[in-house]
Chains A and B, each alone.
Chain A
Amino acid sequence: MTNEEGWKDVAFNSRDPVYLQVVRLFMEKLVTGRLAAGQVIPSRRELASLLKINPNTAQKAYKEMEERRLIVTEGNAPSRVTEDAGVLRGIRAALVEEAADEFIAAVRRIGMPADELIELVRRKYDERQGGGAHD
């Protein structure tokens, strides 16, 4: 049903709640297209085995994702990624915003004017786009 690729060898840190790291993993997979809207995801048990985490933690992660409407579980059917475009856009926005916050926190310490910074970001971004982007 679900291939094991992409679930193995995920590096978790041991100081953040594991269930939130799992939610985050799903969000990243969604925005990078490695999980598609409507796609069936592994069962809680399968995920616990694949990620080598406690089964109760996997359960908690799925509950959290259901509450955030990232995934849907109908009756006894396997859980699926949501097809709600609004939710998917929201995840994308949340992840980009988070990355921007981290970037700003890092460069603020150096103290560069915003205009110069934006110019730098634009130039670097274009370089990446042109020069054979990876990922």
Chain B
Amino acid sequence: MLAYIIRRVFQGAFVLLIVGFIAFCMFRFMGDPLESILGQEATALDRIELRERLGLNDPIVLQYGRFVGNAVQGEFGISYRNGVPVAELISQRLPATLELALVSAVLALVFGIVLGVYTAIKREGWLANSIMSLSLIGVSLPTFLIGILLIWIFAVELGWLPSFGRGDTGSLFGIQTSLATVSGIKSIILPAITLGLYQMTLIMRLVRAEMLEVLRADYIRFARARGLSERAINFSHALKNTLLPVITIIGLQLGQIIAFAIITETVFQWPGVGLLFINAVQFVDIPVMTTYLLLVGAMFVVLNLLVDLLYAVIDPRLRVAKR
């Protein structure tokens, strides 16, 4: 098992190196950071000087090598846009994104599973059918549209919830989070729904399909024959066996949630790493972009590893196969 983990960690590091390199190769198509750094009064001479000082004339491989060399020492450079160390910017912003992703994931999971089970059991009910139809919205509407729609209804028309920002943050178990204050919790509701809606409908449809499959299985029939209550059958026998694929999806979707947070964060001005990244792209802030992409890459690698390990825990059959 240990050897397996170590091997996966090395694979992960290799993946990150490749991600970073591809990112660096793409930056040349994103524009010129000098245009953003220098004002409109800059002369041709200023441009040449700054380009030289920032090492932008060097070959990509050399620039990348320099970045990796510094990154290994925990030095990610200074943001061109904000003039503060990238590591500081990201560590300031990460809690906001993680908290948003977490709340979205919990919402998606709870509502997804509950509604999925409900629609599977009450297949023909009018409520189940309308939930299924409504879920099409979650799958088909783009995130920014849902966000704007929610702002329109709940912030402008009803005035119940704030349209932007994170509200006040408070301390909860030593972590600065908006979940610790009333204004923070009010602020997170709309972005969390926007971000989690797609995942929620996905989980719901998945659970429903799996559940329908399982309910047809022989052992459920036997359970019925044994006279077990519907409740016991549905929840302790059927649901348990539908959860395996759900865990895979959730593991991978959590990465998606963080990645999709870019759009939600822009719409709601949620001060997380996604918003930071969008600004970095517009400004061609190379140090921030690279670090962000590496961070997201690392997150996916770790999530995948965790999902694989969780499998072994949940499904004993896999544990045997590994040995």
Q: Are the chains A and B members of one assembly?
A: no
Q: Interface of A with B (CB < 8 Å)?
A: none
